[in-house]
Structure 1
Amino acid sequence: MTTGADTARTQRALAALAVDPGGLKGLTFRARMGPARQAFETALRKLSGPQRRIHPAITDDQLFGGLNIAASLAEGRPVRDAGLAEQPSTLTLTMAERTPSGLAARLAQLLDADRGHALILLDEAASADEGAPQALLDRLAFHIEPPEAATPVRLPAAADLDAARKRLPRVSLPDDALPLLVTLAARFGIHSLRAPSLALRAARALAALDAEPAVTQDHLQEAAELVYPSRATMMPAEAEDETPPDAPEPDQSDNADENGEQSLTDLPDDILVSAIAALLPTDILDRLAAKSTRPANAAGSGAGDRRRGNRRGRPLPSRPGRPSAQSRIDPIATLRAAAPWQTLRRTGRNADRALVILPSDIRIKRFEDRSDRLLIFTVDASGSAAVARLAEAKGAVELMLAQAYARRDQVALLAFRGTGTETLLPPTRSLVQAKRRLASLPGGGGTPLASGLMAAGDLGQLARGRGLTPMLVLLTDGRANIPLSGEPDRATANDDATRIAASLRQQGLSGVLVDTSNRPNDAARTIAAALGARYLALPRADAQGISTAVTSALEA
């Protein structure tokens, strides 16, 4: 697909959403921050109507409104704050891949209420097995994955959009339009009835944009091309080439309606199937495989169980404080603090009150905030390691990758050999991708241990800047012989490795060093001591033993 065609479809999808936001519900824009994302957000700001930007950590009170405790205590009557969803608007959810299941359920309920809300999901997932919750994707009409190149997205003029909105209620639908769309959805394995319904709404919006009084076949085809490709779960079966020999010639006069126009159901659907199949992602089989192997209890957020906002996580004892947008009241602790003083407070004008709560009684909830963990697997792929334990190291890393995936940790894979270090896998949660990169890990060459440690330190600093907690898992025999200069010199190589290990310890990069040599040696112990990492000597352990020991050390 060309960039121009992709941009044209994006523009038509945005224009249709601007005409019928309440009917189409919204769209998903899947791209990491970059020029394409900026071009889309620039066009998004041109949409009419109120727009609100929300975050996965938004609370129910902020979204739907709630009781203002401080104002209620001051005025002696319930005072309620309005939420962002009080009035119909376009809600733009950033970092949609981190959406918790609870928020996804409430947003889905808001869309199902048909109050005119639309939802824009900005999905920054890096792999096919991550992404926004399926409950939201199923309710939104369009899914856009732009190319890397940034192309300006131009919408029709505001006057044209207003005119299309006025024409929308008068656009008529053919009687056979919905059966055609349902049949077409079944060809691609789309079982949700929301898809044909959204495609029908999209076809009406496109007809209104084109100033057509009725939906045509072109509008149905374009709507199906916009709605169906991202929902497809299988490739359509090939149509039979042979026709029954005794099949009679269709009577064109019987298939024509009163106005001499051909019925939509009598037109060949192979054209529609081919048009949609041409828009399916080239890696659709990999995506379907990733979806099928995704755990059923996964929240769909891609953020992991350890990622919490400043008001979520492990509960801690409440403390006195003032309620604000950044804090939540603990009702039980507040009542417990106020209860001993009720007899003394029921005097004078407070005598008729059942409960008297003062601002000093308010207790604020506290939570332990635990960020995502990034496991940086740094594997020695040099000649000495390949002769000794590279096969077991690969097996151990693969087992630990599976465990990290189950905990929703992010993983990165570095390999050092020859004269430098190669980043085989940047931080990701994609287990399939990590296994594929690990299987292709070659062995042989020198041991540039200092280069591997430096690369791990740079990646750790980058991870901290993104709110992650990096941990190093270093698998090596410790026999460095290539310094940072690249020239073979064992003494200098050991000095460089020890110096950089001490530097990483000062940066707070903790972890485990697994001595993969056949016999434990002092070189690996020296690096572990300088690094401040736990030293594991497993000369006769298999892949399962190494994985178990490393996991225990990391959890300690």
Structure 2
Amino acid sequence: MPAEACSPWAEAVRVAALLAVDPTGLGGVSLRAMPGPVREAWLDLLRGLLPGDAPWRRLPLSVGDGRLLGGLDLAATLRAGRPVAERGLLAEADGGVLLPAMAERLPATTAAHLAAVLDSGEAVAERDGLALRAPARLALVALDEGLAPEETPPAALLERLAFRLDLHGIAPREAVGAAPEAAAVAAARARLPRVSVPEDVMQALCGTALALGIGSLRAPVLALRAARAAAALAGREAVAEADAALAARLVLAPRATRLPVEEEPAPDEPRAEEQTAEPPQQEQDLPDPRALQEILLAAAAAAVPPHLLDGLRPGAAARSPAPGKAGAQKASPLRGRPIGARAGEPRGGARLALVETLRAAAPWQRLRGRSGPRVELRKDDLRIRRFRQRSETATIFAVDASGSAALHRLAEAKGAVELLLADCYVRRDKVALLAFRGTGAELLLPPTGSLARARRCLAALPGGGGTPVAAALDAALLLADSVRRKGQSPLLVVLTDGRANVARDGSGGRARAEAEALAAARALRAAGVASVLVDVSPRPAENGRRLAAEMGARYLALPYADAVALSRAVKAEAA
């Protein structure tokens, strides 16, 4: 293979050529690149290889369902005095390519619509009193402009796109090279229906997907279609080994979740050099799927991205989630991200959705005796805007300051709360501190963002006495209810060894104290409070696990963790 064929730009050219041969079958490509000459050069290349009349539509990030799926043409409806439908972007892109901008930030509803279209080839919409169904056989070029590795398009889309292409490492001067002629691609497109696939190739592609840890059935299907497109582009009417290897490298390798493990031969299986008897002639003529699978595995393993290899090695550290995403989504009538409109009157600061109001009134104008540009509005036609915003998170720390906990990890718990408070201050979240010891629980720090105040409370937190777990969980539930009434999202973090020995009324008795603690934990789970239980005992014990299970909480056994490790674990649950 010539050196140019192994360059990143040569691989990008191959992806464009294969996609142009079978755009609908391959689904499309996730194109990871920032706006610039390299991305535009690749897009121009792809557009030049497609049929001249193929639609080419860009999808804005803020597109609404009406423009995406189709709906009522408001201007035409008002002029005609009767409902007039308009085609959406999906229907307009039928037979061509749709380019979603900033695909890593696509809303879930838009991603779901796109995934449904890739599966069915139809755009279906039931809105504005209309039932619309239009063909939408298209390919997606998802423009991924994410900077961080975790910023990717929705998984539902990635699973349906054959290729994942990264142009970040290609300089503008390198984005040149011989590209296939549009006539050759058109000939391959016409040859594609006649390309056959041998049985051994199908088995080898499926075995390669399994060896790479790919659980989705779509991946080997897309690889098979890519192999057929490669064979058609090479002028063959049957998929060859080189076509299957190319498909494994371009389609399966980017989806790998583990490194292939080389299988050892069975103890009673003779080695190749020990097999002296010649097999029958008819068996020699048959292809060996296992040998072909080894070739495809080698091709795919060589193309697995280096950063993915680092994450697949044993003992590799998991990527920590991005901070600032702990708050739950909630509807808001005044501010936030627009999520459509609903029927209602613009009172109390709610905003009138003028276009949606006119859209709701337009189909009824003829019945109301109106024609021409004037529109009669009624109360039922009014629509107000809806918004969604993240609620502020309030993390409630319930710290066990009893004698057993003080002996074990009270110092680490204090350090973890202080570190988390500093992190929450950056995210503008709130932190509250409950301490329980002796016969009850005490609210040392109401929800606040003051770092200095928290430090003073933590420094003055004493240790010693009994372990009133039930009283602590009851106090945490009351505080969580108060947080919710303020429109915030509570997150409860309990740091304890779980050895309850003080009942709600302050009396001793381990059996009664544990029973009341489990009952209080069940009340927290019934209230739906997100929670984490950190077992601070020297060794993970059954008490903590049972208490976490009754709370519906995530259980973290960190007997040897320092304050930094504890802080990271709680932040991971919050995110």
TM range (shorter): 0.5 to 0.7
Which residue in 1 is equivalent to 2:375?
A: 358
- Structure 1 counterpart of 2:452, from 515, 523, 530: 515
Q: Give, in angstroms, the shift of residue 229 of structure 1.
A: 1.3
Name the amino acid aligned to 2:384: K
CA distance in 2, matches of 1:108, 1:24: 13
Cα distance, 1:6–1:179 mapped onto 2, change above 3 Å: same
Q: State the partner residue of 1:254.
A: 282
**Aligned pair 1:53/2:74, yes or no?**
no
* 2:119 pairs with 1:96: no
* 1:63 partnered with 2:82: no
Partner of 1:152: 175
Please tell me whether the aligned partners of residues 35 and 149 of structure 1 are also in contact (alpha carbons under 8 angstroms): no
Deviation, structure 1 residue 5: 2.9
Q: 1:436 maps to which residue? A: none
Partner of 2:146: 125
**Equivalent residue, structure 2, for 1:22:** 24
Following superposition, the deviation at residue 360 of structure 1 comes to 4.4
Match of 1:132, SS? coil
C-alpha displacement at 1:54, in angstroms?
0.7
1:387-536 matched pairs, under 5 angstroms: 396-398=418-420, 514-515=451-452
Once structures 1 and 2 are overlaid, which stretch shifts more, 108-117 or 27-36? 27-36
CA contact (8 A) 1:98 1:303 kept: no
Q: Which amino acid aligns with 2:26?
A: L
1:215 corresponds to which of 211, 216, 239: 239
One-letter identity of the residue aligned with 1:270:
E
The letter for the 2-side match of 1:145 is: D
Mapped contact 1:68–1:79 kept (Cα < 8 A): yes
Runs of at least 5 residues in structure 1 that lack an aligned partner in the other structure:
296-300, 374-388, 405-410, 412-469, 474-510, 520-536, 543-547
Q: 1:199 aligns with which of 223, 232, 235?
A: 223
- After TM superposition, the structure 1 stretch with the greater mean CA deviation from structure 2, 177-186 or 215-224, is 177-186
2:187 is aligned to 163
Question: 2:281 and 2:17 mapped to 1: Cα distance?
Answer: 38
Give the Cα separation in 2 of the matches to 1:131 and 1:308.
Answer: 23
| Paired residue secondary structure (1:213) | coil
CA distance 1:277–1:285, change in 2 (3 Å): closer
Which residue does the alignment assign to 2:444?
none
Determine helix, strand or coil for the equivalent of 1:52.
strand
Output the amino acid matched with 1:187: A
User: Which residue identity does 1:514 align to in structure 2?
Assistant: L
Describe the superposition over 1:428-451 as per-residue Cα deviations: whole angstroms up to 9, x where unpaired: xxxxxxxxxxxxxxxxxxxxxxxx
CA contact (8 A) 1:50 1:89 kept: yes
Q: Which residue of 2 aligns with 1:6?
A: 8
TM-score, scaled to structure 1: 0.58
Residue 256 of structure 2 corresponds to which residue in structure 1?
Answer: 232
Uncovered stretches (5+) of structure 2, i.e. residues with no partner: 122-135, 393-410, 431-447, 463-478, 490-575
* Post-superposition CA distance 1:192-231 (Å, at most 9, x none): 1111111111011111111122210110011111111122
Query: Distance between the aligned counterparts of 2:231 and 2:341, measured in 1?
Result: 49
1:74 paired with 2:79, answer yes
| CA 314–113 in structure 1, closer or farther in 2 if over 3 Å, else same | closer
Read off the aligned partner of 2:111 and give its amino acid letter.
A
| Partner amino acid, structure 1, of 2:199 | D
Q: CA deviation at 1:77?
A: 2.2
How many corresponding residue pairs? 393
Residue 32 of structure 1: how far off its partner (Å): 4.1
**Contact kept? 1:104, 1:136, Cα under 8 Å:** yes
Q: Distance in 2 between matches of 1:400 and 1:518?
A: 10
Counterpart position of 1:275: 299
Supply the AA of the counterpart residue of 2:84. V
Closer/same/farther in 2, CA of residues 73 and 161 from structure 1, 3 Å limit: same
CA distance in 2, matches of 1:96, 1:302: 22
**CA displacement at 1:320 relative to structure 2:** 5.7
**Partner of 1:215: helix, strand, or coil?**
coil
Contact kept, 8 Å, 1:93 with 1:119, in 2: the verdict is yes
